[in-house]
């Protein structure tokens, strides 16, 4: 993750320069251009709900804007932005856990049922999404962000705030779990996936 942090620091030297010169609005505009999508995707991966992800992304950006003057450059800008975003998502998850404690158990039951189902779903894409949703949270987040961020392990590591080795391990385990599930469901034939166009 160290090289990624250095790269990120170099990439955002212009924003740091604008901040040092006191141009907060312009710095925020540049930051928004670069991070808006990444922040939203990180929120989507962490929260699994588009509406909540939008709210969390917005709240994160407002916090970033408010705190931009206090950014001292000791951490890389991206690490700082992702840390704020993760904290907002954790708060949202905590709030949701309290509010929806009953419906959560229903979701878990549904997922367990889906897991136990022997028959494949109608579409391969749907099946794959379903299997990804059944993965443990940490593996699912790493996998989603890996494909959202064009297979960049260093970016995923920055977004999740963990070492690249951990991301690689999570990806390896996620793929192994998916392969195992495919085998269990009799979908482990590669030609099946090629024929379906996926």
Give the binding site for another protein (CB under 8 A): 32, 36-37, 40-41, 44, 50, 53-54, 57-59, 61-62, 65-66, 124-125, 128-129, 132, 143-144, 147-149, 151, 175, 178-179, 182, 188-190, 193-194, 198
- Supply the minimum distance, in Å, between the C-beta of residue 102 and another protein: 28
Measured from the CB atom, the residue of 5 and 178 that comes closer to another protein is: 178
Measured from the CB atom, the residue of 51 and 98 that comes closer to another protein is: 51
- Supply the minimum distance, in Å, between the C-beta of residue 72 and another protein: 20
Burial degree of 7 (CB within 10 A; 0-12, 13-18, 19+): middle
SS3 of 113-129: the string is: HHHHCCCCCCCHHHHHH
Measured from the CB atom, the residue of 149 and 160 that comes closer to another protein is: 149
Decide: 62 and 88 in contact? Cβ < 8 Å.
no
- Supply the minimum distance, in Å, between the C-beta of residue 114 and another protein: 16
- Supply the minimum distance, in Å, between the C-beta of residue 32 and another protein: 8
What is d(CA 182, CA 179) in angstroms, rounded to the nearest whole number?
A: 5
- Supply the minimum distance, in Å, between the C-beta of residue 62 and another protein: 5
Measured from the CB atom, the residue of 9 and 154 that comes closer to another protein is: 154
The Cβ of residue 145 has, within 10 Å, a number of other Cβ atoms equal to 26
Measured from the CB atom, the residue of 13 and 125 that comes closer to another protein is: 125
């Amino acid at each position: 993750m160290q090289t990624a942090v250095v790269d990120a620091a170099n990439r955002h030297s212009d924003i740091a320069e604008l901040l040092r010169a006191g141009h907060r609005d312009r710095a925020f505009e540049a930051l928004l251009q670069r991070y808006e999508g990444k922040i939203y995707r990180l929120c989507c991966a962490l929260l699994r709900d588009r509406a909540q992800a939008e709210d969390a992304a917005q709240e994160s950006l407002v916090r970033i804007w408010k705190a931009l003057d206090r950014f001292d450059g000791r951490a890389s800008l991206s690490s700082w932005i992702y840390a704020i975003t993760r904290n907002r998502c954790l708060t949202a998850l905590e709030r949701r856990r309290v509010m929806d404690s009953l419906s959560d158990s229903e979701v878990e039951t549904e997922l367990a049922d889906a897991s136990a189902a022997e028959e494949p779903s109608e579409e391969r894409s749907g099946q794959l999404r379903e299997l990804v949703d059944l993965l443990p949270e940490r593996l699912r987040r790493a996998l989603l962000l890996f494909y959202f961020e064009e297979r960049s392990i260093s970016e995923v590591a920055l977004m999740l705030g963990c070492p690249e080795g951990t991301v690689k391990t999570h990806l390896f385990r996620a793929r192994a779990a998916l392969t195992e599930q495919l085998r269990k469901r009799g979908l482990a034939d590669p030609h099946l996936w090629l024929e379906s166009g996926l």
